[in-house]
Amino acid sequence: MLDTPRPRTRSGGRNARRAARSAPVFDMLPGLERNLPVCEIMTGSQVERIHDASMDILENVGVQFRDPIALADWKRAGAKVDGELVYLDRGLVMDLISTIPSDFTYTARNPKKNLRLGGRHSIFVPMTGAPFLRDLDDVRRNPTLDDLAMFHKLAHMSPALHSSAHHIVEPYDHPISQRHLRITYSSMKYSDKTFMGMTTSPKNAEDVMDMCAILFGADFMETHPVTTGNCNGNSPLVWDETMLGAMRAFCYHNQPVLCSPFVLGGANTPASVAASVAQLNAEALSALAYTQVIRRGAPAIYGHYLSTVSMKSGAPMAGTPEISLMNFMIGQMARHYDVPWRTSNTLGGAKTFDAQAGYESATTLSAVMHAGANYIWHSAGWNEAGMHCSVAKFVVDAEQCAMAHRMAQGPNWDDFDTAVDAVSDIGPGGHYLGHPHTQDNFQTAFFMPDLFDNNSIEQWVAEGEVEITERALKHARKLLNDYEEPKLDIAKDEELRDYIARREREIPASDELNQSF
């Protein structure tokens, strides 16, 4: 079990203030231990209603597993298989998912950055998969491996981000067939936080497992999750061979898979919030159950990617009320089954880092905090419906996560009596700025965002009317300037490089440089 220390912000006093001043600003915040009550929008009987509807779907509509190995596995596990359709009895499903750990420790190469995941324990993970970036000059273009390294460094330097993820952006300057190797290496090299593993094909997933074995040891991985892989379902009710093969690679090695139906509400689900959740729940459970067919007791995460579709344009939307509601409901379902769950954070459909992006992102962040999500993915950089990762938005989102991290801890009661004593000391009509309690606590009592300007307009004008994008890019440049590489063990680094070199000799370099997801 991970020791989750109380965050610095909780301990008042002069020593704490001194410590806060001298500590490097890019220390990672501990994994979040939420004290915020979860938003239970459904009654117990409504949870049962979703559960029953999902079970009816699994038993009577069935789920398509477009993969001969999975179909054979399901037959052996006792499911009714008809062509590619698998009908899952509710007893079988519930029995299988019962062995998924309700929480686990996610190991980083720096053990101080290990994270507990599940129950009240949550983590923030940056966005991934962007085919474009908005760079340090806010120019929108295709990313390179250097850009990817830059984002891994920014993730490393952002206290509230708990992971360097994997392909935050798609590095277009390397053949797609070999890209997963370079992405994985970049995640491992430029940050010592947890990272994600590519699931772009079963073979690619095997390569990631090999690289993790180099970094952590194959035996260690048998008992310790060291990476996470995402497997998207094709809603409605389809899992394909690529995803299922990648899932097997991860599960065989005891590495957690995010079982993520890809939901565009209204297009690939019914035009109903509650029925969309029932379908998504059936889909997630079918994959969660399959992880336990692959390996009983392997960790797994109830996932989803979730948007609603504009019926005017067909475009996915972000920050809508129904996305918030579905997050609350999915959280309730995951807790009903006692499995950790994943959501998507700070989504935005804006084309630039404008007010729309701010509203969408903050609405989503608030919703997922109140929903009680554990694996809070896409927590930094996402804009334009995931088509680009913005450097400016990345650092602002990361600060927003730090603010949400603080909020979800709830109020500090430790100094309540001395703080209330200050009210008698000051009395009616006074002010607190010079009071010893204020002096001891002002640095930590109220969060002061670095990237928001709260000065007067006169001061803002005098300072050149710097808007948030420019402020954020300046901050990103400073982070990159201050970045210090968390050194990899030299022997392991060499072994990883040798592995990549060998695999790149073995894997034909594809001509394509297009996006992988």
Q: Site for a second copy (CB under 8 A): which residue of 6, 48, 98, 416?
A: 416
Q: Among residue numbers 438 through 497, which ones bind a second copy (CB under 8 A)? A: 438, 440-443, 445-449, 451-457, 460, 465, 467-469
DSSP for 191-214, please give it.
Answer: --SBEEE--SSHHHHHHHHHHHHH
Q: Is 41 in the site for a second copy (CB under 8 A)?
A: yes
Q: φ, ψ for residue 234 (rounded to 5)?
A: -100, 95
Q: CA neighbours within 13 Å on the CB side: how many for 326?
A: 32
Q: Among residue numbers 268 through 297, which ones bind a second copy (CB under 8 A)? A: 268-275, 277-279
Q: Site for a second copy (CB under 8 A): which residue of 33, 89, 241, 322?
A: 322
Q: Is 234 in the site for a second copy (CB under 8 A)?
A: yes
Q: φ, ψ for residue 148 (rounded to 5)?
A: -60, -45
Q: Site for a second copy (CB under 8 A): which residue of 3, 313, 464, 511?
A: 313
Quick note: the x/- pattern for a second copy over 386-415, rule CB under 8 A, is -x-----x--x---x--xx-xx--xxxx-x
> By C-beta, is 78 or 430 nearer to a second copy?
430
Is the separation of the CB atoms in 334 and 341 below 8 Å?
yes
SS3 96: helix
Is the separation of the CB atoms in 486 and 156 below 8 Å?
yes
Tell me the closest approach of the beta carbon of residue 23 to a second copy, in angstroms: 18
Q: Residue 31: how many CB atoms within 10 A of its CB? A: 22
Whether the link from the prior residue into 236 is cis, omega within 30° of 0, is yes
Q: Mark out the alpha helices in 410-467 (DSSP H runs).
A: 416-426, 436-445, 457-462
Quick note: the x/- pattern for a second copy over 349-388, rule CB under 8 A, is xxxxxxxxxxxxxxx-xxx--x-------------xx-x-
Applying CB under 8 A, the site for a second copy has a residue count of: 126
Q: Is 429 in the site for a second copy (CB under 8 A)?
A: yes
Q: Site for a second copy (CB under 8 A): which residue of 19, 420, 462, 501?
A: 420
For tokens 């930094």, what's the residue?
380
Question: Residue 53 corresponds to which amino acid?
Answer: A
Q: Is 236 in the site for a second copy (CB under 8 A)?
A: yes
Q: Site for a second copy (CB under 8 A): which residue of 430, 482, 509, 514?
A: 430
Q: For residue 296, what are the contacts with CB-CB under 8 A and spacing of at least 6?
A: 99
* Separation between Cα atoms, residue 140 and residue 270, nearest integer Å: 35
Tell me the closest approach of the beta carbon of residue 42 to a second copy, in angstroms: 8
> By C-beta, is 228 or 307 nearer to a second copy?
307
* Separation between Cα atoms, residue 443 and residue 445, nearest integer Å: 6
* Separation between Cα atoms, residue 163 and residue 325, nearest integer Å: 27
Tell me the closest approach of the beta carbon of residue 259 to a second copy, in angstroms: 16
Tell me the closest approach of the beta carbon of residue 55 to a second copy, in angstroms: 11
> By C-beta, is 135 or 440 nearer to a second copy?
440
311 exposure class (CB count in 10 Å sphere: 0-12, 13-18, 19+): exposed
Q: Is 309 in the site for a second copy (CB under 8 A)?
A: yes
Tell me the closest approach of the beta carbon of residue 342 to a second copy, in angstroms: 20
Q: Among residue numbers 243 through 272, which ones bind a second copy (CB under 8 A)? A: 265-272
* Separation between Cα atoms, residue 462 and residue 464, nearest integer Å: 5
Q: Among residue numbers 133 through 192, which ones bind a second copy (CB under 8 A)? A: 140
> By C-beta, is 186 or 320 nearer to a second copy?
320
Q: Site for a second copy (CB under 8 A): which residue of 433, 481, 490, 491?
A: 433
Q: Is 308 in the site for a second copy (CB under 8 A)?
A: yes
Question: Residue 124 corresponds to which amino acid?
Answer: F
Is the separation of the CB atoms in 392 and 472 below 8 Å?
yes
> By C-beta, is 483 or 517 nearer to a second copy?
517
Tell me the closest approach of the beta carbon of residue 12 to a second copy, in angstroms: 8
Q: Is 422 in the site for a second copy (CB under 8 A)?
A: yes
Cα distance from N-terminal residue to C-terminal residue, the chain: 33
